[in-house]
Amino acid sequence: MSEIKKIAVLTSGGDAPGMNAAIRSVVRTATYHDLHVFGISQGYHGMIEGEIKRLERKDVGNIIQRGGTILKTARSMEFMTEEGRKKAYESLQAFGIQGIVAIGGNGTYTGAKVFSEEYDVPIIGVPGTIDNDIYGTDYSIGFDTAINTAIEAVDRIRDTADSHSRLFFIEVMGRHSGYIALYTGIGSGAGNIFLPETEDSIDELITQLKRKGRRKKLFNLVIVAEGNKNGGAMEIAAKVKEQLDNFDSKVTIIGHLQRGGSPSCNDRVLASTLGHAAVTALINNEKSIAVGLKNGRVLYTTLTEAISKENEINKDLIEMARILAL
């Protein structure tokens, strides 16, 4: 067992539904073990600026259902410098903080790894990103809520697409990861899905649309991840329009709606589990690791692995989506 008595928790990078549930879990698990907990506002920027305050059990009451993060989040260019990290360490020293739980994505993990190596501060990463692109866990906090938000939006679009016999191009988040697009496409019964991980052909899409037109399929939904190699939904729609001007096509970009809103039950349970596991890891003298959930069991992954390895998308799901859309 460690001699750690004071820990801190922060959220960094893009916000994700369920971050508050993770914060709540960290605070309540830590106080149960008689640890003092501090909240760092605005991620690594707040660590540099000393925006740190003590958190008690009551401070995290009534937040499990709230989206966003009560600690706020920010991206810090200064933390990427040695001078910035030195100031951050001095801030931690001023409060006597001996370990950190960092909730975020790859950028958060990268900062945590460098800082932990430089100052020998135990840091445990908790995967909080809607993109689900973190290695070492089946799902990241926020992903389930994001795809349910996207599905609800697409279901509504389907109603108007059907009513007007329209072709809709719907863009979802995913600059480098197609998880949101793939799950949204399968769950909504979309006709085509464009992912960053695949070499999707616009010519093939046009051929399919012509075939479906001959079958009297009067509307179609195309889900596009924002990081697709062919461009976003606007670009793909324009290219299709050049060759199929007989289609009444529309474009919808769901955007930041996917990041907001009350977290789903799955995200609340996942966040609670991983927050608890992160504090337990600190108590057990772990450092420079990330916690995840694989096949229903808590798994520890080194921050180096979590950063360097990809959470590869399931190719069988991609093939299944293609078959079901025919």
Give residue 303's identity as a one-letter amino acid code.
L
**Under 8 Å between Cβ of 135 and 305:** yes
- Residue 315, exposed/middle/buried by CB under 10 A (0-12, 13-18, 19+)? exposed
Contacts of 298 (CB under 8 A, 6+ apart): 273, 274, 277, 291, 292
Structure tokens at 104: 């975020």
Q: Angle between the 106-119 and 82-95 helix axes, to the nearest 10 degrees?
A: 70
State the catalytic residue, choosing from 15, 131, 133, 267. 131
Dihedral angle sign, alpha carbons of residues 223, 187, 197, 289: positive
By three-state DSSP, how is residue 303 classified? Answer: helix
SS (H, E, C) 257-278: HHCCCCCCHHHHHHHHHHHHHH
Contacts of 281 (CB under 8 A, 6+ apart): 124, 289, 291, 300
CA–CA dist 214, 202 (Å, integer): 19
SS3 content of the chain, % helix, strand, coil (to 5): 45, 20, 35
User: Is residue 59 flagged as an active site residue?
Assistant: no
User: Residue 203 to residues 190, 230, 238: CA-CA distances in angstroms?
Assistant: 18, 11, 13
Work out the angle at residue 158's Cα, subtended by the Cα atoms of residues 155 and 161, and round it to the nearest 5 degrees: 160
CA–CA dist 27, 21 (Å, integer): 10
Question: Catalytic residue numbers?
Answer: 131
